[in-house]
Amino acid sequence: MRARFGLLGGSFNPIHIGHLVIAERACEELKLGRIILVPTGDTPMKDPRSLAPARHRLAMARLAVRGSRLTVSPCEVSRRGMSYTIDTVEALEPDFLVIGADSLAALPRWHRIRDLAARVTFAIAARPGFKPGRVPGYIRHTFVRAPLLDISATDLRERLRTGRSIRWLVPDAVERYIRRHGIYQC
């Protein structure tokens, strides 16, 4: 029998400690063998001009999880054309899809959401400033208790753009990568 596992997708623009804490807590609470982080490829949910190149976001995610039970899949970054969560779930067949409570309101607009809901249990993690709203009845779900770390990629990009520190907000290897490649600094 295979070990149960979950997916945590996102733009990871850049990946930060908040993402990693949620993934680790989901792994513990749901008794999963692993969580796979999946950086987005071409997604209808984000303006591609606002994202660092996918190769950099993938590299930063790999650096962030090095030495942990978290892993990274390049499946969405490698996929040609628009990338939808249902395609990733059909390819990888996870048991859980980990999302932040901030994503709840958008769920009904996700591509093939009912097909997705039939395939996974949503593991919903609290996020600062977002009260878990009503979860649509067709979605199997559970809640993941994780510390409410008020870290956002938007704030990190602004801090980098204005020359402020991101120390302790991202793994050291990710900060070194960002600085070495000049990402988000203009």
What pLDDT does 52 receive? 94
Domain assignment of residue 78, yes or no? yes
Reported as a single tens digit per residue, the pLDDT across 95-130 is 999 999 888 888 999 999 999 999 999 999 988 777
Looking at the 3D structure of the chain, how many domains does it have?
1
Report d(CA 26, CA 173) in Å as an integer: 23
The 10 Å Cβ neighbour count of residue 75 is: 18
Cβ contact 184:14 at 8 Å: yes
Query: In CATH, what number is assigned to the domain containing residue 83?
Result: 3.40.50.620
Domain assignment of residue 34, yes or no? yes
Domain assignment of residue 164, yes or no? no
Closest CA to 125 of 93, 108, 109, 148: 148
Domain assignment of residue 163, yes or no? no
Domain assignment of residue 145, yes or no? yes
Average pLDDT over residues 24-41: 96
Domain assignment of residue 161, yes or no? no
Report d(CA 176, CA 186) in Å as an integer: 17
